[in-house]
């Protein structure tokens, strides 16, 4: 999991729809200097209402200078747990930067200047429902843009917005298990869910990451999991939400009480509906599983393409046990050698059964000239332990985009998948390719729960026929020029997407939690046929 932790794959919490929409409405919101922007006295009065829990926010590099010693250690800088406690710290630090502001406003680690960039001005360190209600009412009354951050574990770091009021739900740490349900505060980390799940003999559908909050952006954006092929998406398992909507009202939302809002909260876009206080999920008796990591080295892009094709030919081998799995490709740009990591999670499967299921793929891989085995590891035990991570490794610059690739592509033309990967790698700037195969939930949809789930959730229908969620993108160092950064930020739309469409088709959906913020047709790309209904619901709340 080391490779995964350093890559794009497990970063989830997001509020993309919010940021897209807010971008187009940016001029409608009050910002400092607007006639309607709250005066200092009004902010002070809000702070009194909040018992002093209104704070000013600074970018993470500036925050570090306020620590004893005047700096963050590398361990702190790269820790998602550390960043989750700091309102202005995004997991991917590029999202703190105001590249598009005129002039650009940046705050880099160890830099000599620091601009506020895209970091909010104020944050509410909420401790109670009343804090959230007060913050939401204040923002509605003064037409302020709101950003919501639970842990801030967000691939695209979108728990921020320039000149916004940030509502930080990190302190909402309640968790309880009752029968076949679990209720989590919106600040509860996945790692806590797995620790407590194990202690309670249960397993919740959740991500293979430490700091993703199940009751935050994860479920609102659909909630992908390594358990999704067996047990559905996070949204499919959500039963009830407590949420503060724009009026400041606290609602308990379930299928009976508010069917439309319930539908929207299950997959209809993170951060779009209000501020979640808690979410209740269906949970299952825990079971054992084998998790495995197979690490292969490939000599060049041609060899990698053959390996990806082989993987595509074998991708249905593990459906018999409803396995979830991820592949991750890490390229060495100077040699074109790549490392190919395959992580699998096989429910109710022993290590030897898992080895048997993977042997045809592994044997055929090692028969390809130019492929070698670096390591393989099979671990049998409680599924909570398999999904548990202690922390997530973040603190770098990265952007990516997403497309859901249909299972039919894998069945009909596996070699096209390999060719697309080869082209992506040859397109130049690609630093990371992450890809997970787990999303289709096809097995789950045959079950009873699924029928209900399908009807009443806003999950993009492309999930139901997808075999893979493909992520590709680029990273850069702080030394990159603004022109280089701009090129990488546009890489997905300009270079990768035309290649990916060869296997995804022209109208494929994306996983909105991990998608590109620059999607031109985000309405259909993120929400597909659900967009019309979702926008009508949004008008109401």
Ligand X SMILES: *[C@@H]1O[C@H](CO)[C@@H](O)[C@H](O)[C@H]1NC(C)=O
Min separation Cβ 512 and ligand X, Å: 26
Min separation Cβ 348 and ligand X, Å: 4
Min separation Cβ 339 and ligand X, Å: 9
Min separation Cβ 277 and ligand X, Å: 6
Q: Which is nearer to ligand X, 68 or 520 (CB)?
A: 68
Helix/strand/coil (H/E/C) assignment for every residue in 507-528: CCCCCHHHCCCCCCCHHHHHHH
Q: Which is nearer to ligand X, 477 or 539 (CB)?
A: 477
Q: Which is nearer to ligand X, 145 or 170 (CB)?
A: 170
Min separation Cβ 367 and ligand X, Å: 9
Q: Which is nearer to ligand X, 323 or 537 (CB)?
A: 323
489 within 8 A of 445, measured Cβ to Cβ: no
Min separation Cβ 403 and ligand X, Å: 22
54 Cβ partners below 8 Å, 6+ apart?
A: 43, 46, 47, 122, 123, 124, 125
Min separation Cβ 515 and ligand X, Å: 26
Give how far the C-alpha of residue 488 lies from the chain's centroid of Cα atoms, to the nearest Å: 20
For 40, other C-beta atoms within 10 Å of its C-beta total 7
Q: Which is nearer to ligand X, 53 or 258 (CB)?
A: 53
Give how far the C-alpha of residue 330 lies from the chain's centroid of Cα atoms, to the nearest Å: 19
Burial (0-12, 13-18, 19+ Cβ within 10 Å), 86:
buried
DSSP per-residue codes, 291-309: EEEEEEEESSHHHHHHHHH
324-331 and 338-347 as β-strands: parallel, antiparallel, unpaired? antiparallel
Min separation Cβ 464 and ligand X, Å: 19
Binding stretches for ligand X (CB under 6 A): 47, 52, 54-56, 71, 74, 109-110, 129, 172, 174, 185, 230-231, 277-278, 287-288, 299-300, 302-303, 322, 332, 334-336, 347-348, 359-360, 363, 369-370, 380-381, 426, 478
Q: How many residues does the chain have?
A: 541
Alpha-carbon distance 312 to 301, whole Å?
16
Q: Which is nearer to ligand X, 31 or 55 (CB)?
A: 55
Min separation Cβ 143 and ligand X, Å: 20
Query: Measuring CA to CA, how many Å separate 497 from each of 11, 158, 354?
Result: 20, 21, 34
Q: Which is nearer to ligand X, 328 or 519 (CB)?
A: 328
Alpha-carbon distance 513 to 519, whole Å?
13
Alpha-carbon distance 217 to 268, whole Å?
10
Alpha-carbon distance 319 to 164, whole Å?
45
Helix/strand/coil (H/E/C) assignment for every residue in 184-235: EECCCEHHHHHHHHHHHCEECCCCCCCCCEHHHHHHHCCCCCCCHHHHCCCH
291 within 8 A of 348, measured Cβ to Cβ: no
Where does residue 256 fall: left (phi above 0), alpha (psi -120 to 50 degrees), or beta otherwise? Answer: alpha
Min separation Cβ 539 and ligand X, Å: 28
Q: Which is nearer to ligand X, 66 or 363 (CB)?
A: 363
Q: Which is nearer to ligand X, 419 or 478 (CB)?
A: 478
Half-sphere exposure of 380 (CA within 13 A, CB side): 8
Q: Which is nearer to ligand X, 65 or 413 (CB)?
A: 65
Q: What angle do CA 327, 331, 332 make, to 5 degrees?
A: 155
Q: Which is nearer to ligand X, 340 or 526 (CB)?
A: 340
Both tokens of 96, joined, read 């703190």
Min separation Cβ 146 and ligand X, Å: 16
């Amino acid at each position: 999991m080391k490779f995964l932790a350093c890559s794009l794959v497990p970063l989830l919490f997001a509020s993309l729809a919010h940021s897209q929409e807010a971008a187009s409405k940016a001029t409608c919101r009050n910002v400092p200097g607007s006639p309607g922007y709250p005066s200092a006295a009004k902010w002070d009065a809000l702070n009194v209402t909040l018992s002093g829990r209104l704070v000013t926010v600074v970018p993470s590099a500036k925050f570090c200078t306020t620590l004893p010693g005047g700096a963050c250690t590398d361990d702190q800088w790269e820790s998602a747990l550390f960043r989750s406690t700091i309102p202005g710290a995004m997991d991917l630090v590029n999202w703190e930067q105001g590249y598009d502001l005129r002039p650009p406003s940046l705050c880099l680690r160890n830099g000599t200047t620091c601009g506020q960039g895209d970091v909010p001005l104020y944050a509410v360190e909420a401790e109670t429902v009343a804090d959230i209600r007060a913050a939401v009412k204040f923002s509605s009354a003064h037409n302020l843009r709101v950003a919501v951050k639970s842990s801030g574990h967000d691939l695209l770091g979108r728990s921020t917005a320039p000149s916004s009021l940030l509502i930080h739900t990190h302190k909402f740490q309640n968790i309880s298990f009752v029968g076949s349900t679990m209720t989590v505060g919106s600040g509860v980390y996945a790692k806590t869910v797995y620790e407590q799940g194990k202690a309670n003999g249960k397993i919740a559908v959740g991500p293979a990451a430490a700091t993703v909050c199940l009751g935050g952006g994860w479920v609102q954006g659909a909630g992908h999991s390594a358990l999704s092929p067996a047990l559905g998406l996070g949204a499919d398992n959500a039963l009830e939400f407590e949420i503060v909507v724009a009026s400041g009202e606290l609602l308990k939302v379930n299928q009976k009480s508010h069917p439309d809002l319930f539908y929207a909260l299950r997959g209809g876009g993170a951060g779009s509906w209000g501020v979640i206080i808690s979410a209740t999920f269906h949970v299952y008796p825990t079971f054992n599983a084998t998790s495995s990591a197979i690490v292969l080295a490939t000599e060049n892009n041609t060899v990698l393409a053959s390996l990806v094709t082989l993987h595509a030919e074998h991708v249905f081998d593990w459906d018999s046990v409803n396995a979830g799995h991820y592949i991750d490709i890490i390229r060495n740009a100077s040699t074109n050698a790549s490392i190919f990591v395959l992580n699998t999670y096989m429910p109710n499967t022993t290590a030897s059964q898992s080895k048997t299921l993977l042997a045809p793929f592994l044997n055929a891989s090692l028969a390809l000239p130019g492929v070698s085995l670096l390591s393989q590891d099979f671990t049998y035990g409680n599924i909570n332990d398999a999904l548990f991570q202690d922390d997530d490794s973040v603190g770098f610059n990265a952007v990516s985009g997403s497309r859901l690739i249909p299972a039919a592509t894998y069945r009909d033309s596996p070699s096209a998948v390999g060719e697309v990967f080869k082209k992506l790698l040859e397109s130049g700037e690609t630093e990371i390719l992450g890809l997970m195969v787990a999303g289709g939930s096809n097995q789950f949809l045959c079950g009873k729960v699924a029928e209900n789930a399908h009807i009443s959730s806003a999950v993009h229908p492309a999930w139901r026929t997808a075999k893979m969620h493909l992520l590709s993108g680029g990273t850069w160092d702080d030394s990159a020029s603004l022109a280089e950064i701009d090129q990488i930020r546009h890489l997905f739309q300009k270079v990768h997407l035309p290649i990916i469409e060869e296997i995804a088709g022209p109208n494929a959906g994306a996983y909105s939690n991990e998608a590109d913020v620059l999607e031109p047709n985000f309405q259909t790309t993120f929400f597909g046929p659900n967009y019309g209904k979702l926008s009508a619901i949004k008008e109401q709340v």
